[in-house]
Amino acid sequence: MNKDLIIATHNAHKAQEISAILPTYRIRSLADYPNLPEVQETGRSFAENAALKARQVSTQVNGLVLADDSGLCVDALSGAPGILSARYAGEHGDDVANNRKLLAELAVLPALAPFRAHFVCAMCLAQNGQQLANFTGTLPGVITLSPRGTNGFGYDPLFVPDGFSCTLAELPAEQKNTISHRAAALRQLSEWISARDCSTCSSQGVTL
């Protein structure tokens, strides 16, 4: 029987990726809860933002809530875009503008090439306003100034993972979902849940 998991995001791409990586879970997202107020991401790190979203949403819905805050950190830009990745160019979720801004900033720094970078995914699992566990996944690689590929989303057309010659946007979704920062965090989540005995969790008020 599938387990229910509520993903604290309106990002359909994230929900689809998580659903593909966790096929034994019944995934719902905030699209299924249109009346919930928007959570303000005021944290100073990916982990803080994930915890804010998970705790707040879990006070308003029944069941396990998983929040994801993720982004791209480029060494040559002192870790930017970082927690501002989704709204780097100003408007939240404008992938084209975000990529354009990143390319413009790196284009004037040729001496710092190759541009080392890594994706980060911080996840927080919560229920009834209680933070249960945190998980973090990373994916190192380099930024190319020549976008390639039409798969994925965000900065995928610019990111070449270590050990590959193609960008994430050139990889089939099935392959990306085995190496990505999000997949790494979700493997930790699955291991954490599998290691918990349901009767113990129930005695603590946690329903798995």
Question: Which residues, 6+ apart, have CB-to-CB distance to 106 below 8 Å?
Answer: 74, 76, 77, 112, 113, 115, 143, 145
Residue 206, pLDDT above cutoff 80: no
pTM of the model: 0.89
Q: Determine the Cα–Cα distance for residues 132 and 102; give it in Å rounded to an integer.
A: 35
Its CATH architecture, for the domain 3-203, is Alpha-Beta Complex (3.90)
Tens digits of residue pLDDT in 143-182: 999 999 999 899 999 999 999 999 999 999 999 999 999 9
Asked whether the beta carbons of 103 and 144 are under 8 A apart, the reply is: no
Q: Which of 9, 95, 19 is nearest to 52 (CA)?
A: 9
Given the residues 4, 68, 69, 75, the one annotated as active site: 69
Q: Give the list of residues 6+ apart from residue 146 with CB closer than 8 angstroms, or none.
A: none
Report the percentage of the chain scoring pLDDT > 70.
Answer: 93
Which whole number is the average pLDDT over 173-196? 93
Percent of the chain with pLDDT over 90: 82
Domain residue limits, the chain: 3-203
Question: Is 68 one of the catalytic residues?
Answer: no
Give the phi and the psi of residue 177 in degrees, each rounded to 5: -75, 0
Q: What is the pLDDT of residues 11-70, one digit of tens each?
A: 888 899 999 999 989 999 999 999 998 898 899 999 999 999 999 999 999 999 999 999
